[in-house]
């Protein structure tokens, strides 16, 4: 009968430890190296709501012959208490991927709990993602409230949600 010695236990422990450390220190996988891009830093262009240009789509834009992309009207009709007021969709440009800037009713947004805001951004972000668009959420004061940003170069797209939280003195920060 074989009785393990202390030396055998130390070798086993050392082997397990080295395998664990090797796994932890191994180079990241391809999915991990392709990070999610930062949200667009382009300014919100509210004047496009009243004077739209040919390349943008708003809640008031309807294509007479085919589906207008991105199609967020259903999401707008089903948003909490008419939270989503309007949007501006920008196609992909040479500089940036396609994005939709959502403009929300600040009074309603401020009444929502963090989880309700997250749910709203996730639902609208998922709808926009299906059309290949990232999302930014603003109020009419052009304050950034949340983002839903994806890396569309991998399949399925890897996405991230960031929301702002106001602290007690009114300063905002992204989470």
Residue-wise pLDDT for 29-63, tens only, equals: 444 445 888 888 889 999 888 887 777 777 766 65
Residue 149 lies in a domain: yes
Residue 23 lies in a domain: no
- When pLDDT is cut at 50, 70 and 90, the band that residue 19 belongs to is very low
What range defines the domain where residue 46 resides?
A: 35-174
Residue 8 lies in a domain: no
For residue 36, report the phi and psi dihedrals to the nearest 5 degrees: -80, 130
Residue 11 lies in a domain: no
Number of structural domains, the chain? 1
- When pLDDT is cut at 50, 70 and 90, the band that residue 82 belongs to is confident
What pTM did the predictor assign? 0.70
pLDDT recorded at residue 67: 44
Strand, helix or coil at 117? Answer: helix
pLDDT recorded at residue 77: 59
pLDDT recorded at residue 70: 57
First to last CA, the chain: 60
pLDDT, one tens digit per residue, over 110-135 is 999 999 999 999 989 998 898 899 99
Residue 2 lies in a domain: no
Residue 14 lies in a domain: no
Residue 148 lies in a domain: yes
pLDDT, one tens digit per residue, over 84-101 is 888 888 888 877 889 999
Nearest Cα to Cα of residue 102 among 150, 44, 160: 44
Residue 103 lies in a domain: yes
């Amino acid at each position: 009968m074989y009785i393990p010695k202390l030396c055998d236990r130390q070798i086993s422990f050392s082997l397990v430890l080295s395998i664990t450390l090797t796994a932890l220190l191994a180079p990241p996988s391809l999915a991990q190296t392709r990070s999610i891009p930062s949200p667009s830093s382009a300014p919100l262009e509210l004047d496009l709501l009243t004077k739209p240009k040919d390349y943008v789509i708003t809640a008031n834009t309807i294509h007479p012959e085919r589906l207008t992309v991105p199609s967020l009207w259903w999401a707008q009709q089903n948003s909490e208490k008419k939270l989503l007021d309007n949007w501006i969709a920008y196609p992909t440009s040479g500089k940036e991927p396609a994005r939709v800037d959502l403009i929300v009713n600040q009074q309603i947004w401020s009444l929502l709990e963090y989880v309700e805001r997250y749910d709203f951004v996730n639902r609208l972000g998922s709808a926009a993602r299906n059309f290949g668009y990232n999302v930014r959420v603003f109020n009419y004061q052009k304050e950034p409230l949340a983002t839903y940003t994806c890396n569309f170069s991998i399949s399925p797209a890897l996405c991230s949600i960031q929301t702002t939280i106001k602290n007690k003195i009114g300063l905002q920060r992204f989470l």
